[in-house]
Amino acid sequence: MGWSALPSFSPERAAGWQQPSHRPLLGTAKHAPAARMPTQRGDFRTGAARRPWSSYERSSMSTKQSKSFAGLARRTLPLLMALVLLPAAAHASTASMTNSNAYVANENDNTVSVINTATNTVTATVPVGTSPAGIAVSPNGAMVYVANLSSNNVSVINAATNAVAATVPVGSSPTAAVVSPNGADVYVANVNANNVSVIDTASNAVIATVPVGNGPSGVAVSPDGAHVYVANANANSISVISTATHAVTATVTVGANPTSVAADPFCNLVYVANTGDNTVSVINTATNSVVQTTTVGKGPAAVAISPIGAPGYAANSVDNTVSVINPFNGSVIDAVPVGAAPDAVAISGSTLGVYVANANDNTVSVINPFTDKVIATVTVGSVPAAVATQPVQF
């Protein structure tokens, strides 16, 4: 199924976008305009007029309508802004290519599935190392880095040819990877070695190894590239690495068993999925302290933030849902049913589509961010453990 549910990015198309029935726009048949308040209540069975609305009832109606509109605005405005901002970001980017694919690491058959996000079909399958568990795309879209858990190395895929161009030995059991915003370095979390390998992308060689907490399972980089955040699943903490010194400068206590981490593209915030206590912690990176904790579904295994900063998504591996998070107040505004055991989530910069890797049914669910509905289910390899797209840079 193609991505026909989303319009091409333009303000004109954005203005005509239709919301789902459970969140109708003001002015639609399901939510009439509030320009004229009814002056009296009618008996809907007979049509006979009854007593006039009291001033309290009319005030209450106005308040509810105002809250409904405010909630709708908070939900849709960031997405509508993206229709304007994302093309501008792509035009301004120094990227040498636009990579509109989603890459899925299939842990049990040692491959990477390449999904065309325009058609939501698999266009290539690339053999990599043993038990690929983590994956990251370079900012320029040219290279894909795959952390192979059982072969203790990283496969470097040339995105133009869909072939492995290099293999880099790293630490024991690499499980996650992220590329710096300038594309110079790849940071790889080695879960059994309790460290992070730093790969120089020019030479495809490890140039530093940084000790972190126990069981590093997720990794993210700040938008300015100054810091890397590592989720230590067995230590209930986040290690903050300075990319200038390749040393840990802070350790932040979070929830139980943090397995995934994502950086807000605009604010000084980092989101952490805590699998053990069904929460997402929000860290203020200026103070390295937790400023918000959101309860999501059961077993959140992964977290991602929209390229425009809202909303956030948590893949709940136990109850087979994706929680949609309002980052402004930390509330969960929707729970989207997906496949079995969703273990990873990534967002397409070209469509804002949310790609969810379902480990137990060998599929990827594609969520339309405007409707919070699954619009496609893509069959991939065995046990899809990670998914990644080209980062958007503003």
Residue-range domains of the chain with CATH: 101-389 (2.130.10.10)
176 or 64, greater pLDDT: 176
118, 106 in Cβ contact below 8 A? no
Q: Is residue 299 over pLDDT 60?
A: yes
Dist CA 92 CA 106 (whole Å): 33
Amino acid at 27: G
Secondary structure class of 81 (helix, strand, coil): helix
33 or 320, greater pLDDT: 320
Give this prediction's pTM: 0.80
Dist CA 134 CA 107 (whole Å): 9
Q: Is residue 33 over pLDDT 70?
A: no
Dist CA 95 CA 12 (whole Å): 27
Residue 392 is predicted with a pLDDT of 82
Give the residue among 241, 273, 277 at the shortest CA–CA distance from 260. Answer: 273
Which tens digits make up the pLDDT trace of 205-214? 999 999 999 9
Kindly report the backbone phi and psi dihedral angles of residue 78, in degrees, each rounded to the nearest multiple of 5, phi listed first. Answer: -60, -40
pLDDT band at 96 (very low <50, low <70, confident <90, very high): low
State mean pLDDT over 150-161: 98
pLDDT band at 393 (very low <50, low <70, confident <90, very high): low
Which tens digits make up the pLDDT trace of 2-17? 443 433 333 332 333 2
Residue 102 is predicted with a pLDDT of 98
175, 189 in Cβ contact below 8 A? yes
Dist CA 175 CA 182 (whole Å): 22
- Nearest 5°: the CA angle 18, 24, 28 is 75
Structure tokens, 354: 């949310």
State mean pLDDT over 69-91: 45
Least confident window among 41-45, 229-233, 264-268, 308-312? 41-45
Secondary structure class of 331 (helix, strand, coil): strand
Dist CA 146 CA 129 (whole Å): 8
- Residue carrying structure tokens 């858990």: 149
214, 172 in Cβ contact below 8 A? no
State mean pLDDT over 23-52: 32
Which tens digits make up the pLDDT trace of 233-256? 999 999 999 999 999 999 999 999
Mean pLDDT of the chain: 82
State mean pLDDT over 192-202: 98
Residue 333 is predicted with a pLDDT of 96
Q: Is residue 354 over pLDDT 60?
A: yes
- CB neighbours of 365 closer than 8 A, spacing ≥ 6? 322, 338, 339, 342, 355, 356, 358, 374, 376, 377
364 or 78, greater pLDDT: 364
11, 373 in Cβ contact below 8 A? no
Residue 394 is predicted with a pLDDT of 57
Structure tokens, 106: 């299939």
Residue 19 is predicted with a pLDDT of 31
